[in-house]
Amino acid sequence: MESRGFLQHTAVSALSLGGGGIGQVWGPTTRAEAVSTVIEAANCGINWIDVAPSYGDGEAESVIAEAFKGTVPNGVRISTKCKLLTGSSISFADRLHTSIQGSLERMHLNSVALLILHNMITEPSTPSEAGCTSADYQENVIPALIGLKQEGIVAAWGITGIGVPSAISKAISEVPKPDAIQIVTNALDSAGDIQGYQGAFTPRLTIEEANSNDVAVMGIRAVQGGALTSSFDRLVDESSADMMDYIRATDFRQLCQYLDIKPAVLAHRYALSLNGVATIVIGVKNRYELYECLEAEEKGKLDDELISLVDQSIDGREST
């Protein structure tokens, strides 16, 4: 896959291992299986692991510590995140510093390759409890992230692309730019329950804009929280956005049955086929799911005809 910006000079693998599954966010697993999955991913050539303190209340980061014992394999890079809560009297710099130090302690590491702001970025006129306004991002968060980079605690910093499009556009076009951005990359063009704001969600336009500004794109939610798999691996509210996406993908699953392809494999192949994405972050929780994703990578990108068939199978999605 094509790398831009920060990842242009990094031999990042087509698949990266995400922390949601190993942090037990995506259904039940065990610490032992999560550790084995991390080790197997590295053995199979996945050289980027992306975790967060919020994945299982530090569980994903603790799995990293148990898997690598403080010594990450040569060539493997680790990224983690920080989510800033609103209404705090503590400075942004102190909150970021406290968060990354806690992450490093849990992982038994001295530094990470990338620290990502886990909040969505909003406009000052549309603040959100889950968000960080573009004003705070520019005036407070960026200087704090740059400070961590100068300390050598992080090699680079990034943002999540799940935010108000106009605010994300500013963040990736105005200097200083993030080194990387995580953007939803799935056939549904949906973030489901985690969108967090009202209005249009346009991840493909964000990918194009990130590429034009040389900001590296890490694709996330290839199976949209399970909506593009055979069945959810956790309890999902019937009225949730994730469930609505699962219903939208009914014809997609029928297409998979006709083609004799597992839905998760086709969904990941679709994500891997999109242009301008440096790596797809997979949220697997065990080695079986890991092997499904590796199977998707091995089978390769979809041709235009199959991409069109997938697009046509998604209710409300037009072929692009």
Name which of 67, 64, 66 is nearest 112 in CA terms: 64
Contacts of 66 (CB under 8 A, 6+ apart): 31, 35
Omega before residue 73 within 30° of 0, cis: no
Radius of gyration over alpha carbons of the chain, in Å? Answer: 18
In tens digits, the chain (320 residues) has pLDDT values of 444 456 655 689 999 999 999 999 998 999 999 999 999 999 999 999 999 999 999 999 999 999 999 999 999 999 999 988 766 788 889 999 999 999 999 999 999 999 999 999 998 876 666 678 999 999 999 999 999 999 999 999 999 999 899 999 999 999 999 999 999 999 999 999 999 888 889 999 999 999 999 999 999 999 999 999 999 989 999 999 999 999 999 999 999 999 999 999 999 999 999 999 999 999 999 999 999 999 999 999 999 999 999 999 996 554 44
Kindly state the tokens that stand for 70: 């403080």
Euclidean distance between CA atoms 307 and 65, whole angstroms: 39
Euclidean distance between CA atoms 95 and 178, whole angstroms: 19
Kindly state the tokens that stand for 133: 């306004």
Domains of the chain and any CATH numbers: 5-313 (3.20.20.100)
Sequence letter at residue 316? G
Euclidean distance between CA atoms 76 and 4, whole angstroms: 19
Please, what is the Cα angle at 271 between 59 and 39, to 5 degrees?
Answer: 35
- The whole-angstrom distance between residue 139's C-alpha and the CA centroid of its chain comes to 25
Euclidean distance between CA atoms 201 and 180, whole angstroms: 19
Contact 155, 114 (CB under 8 A): yes
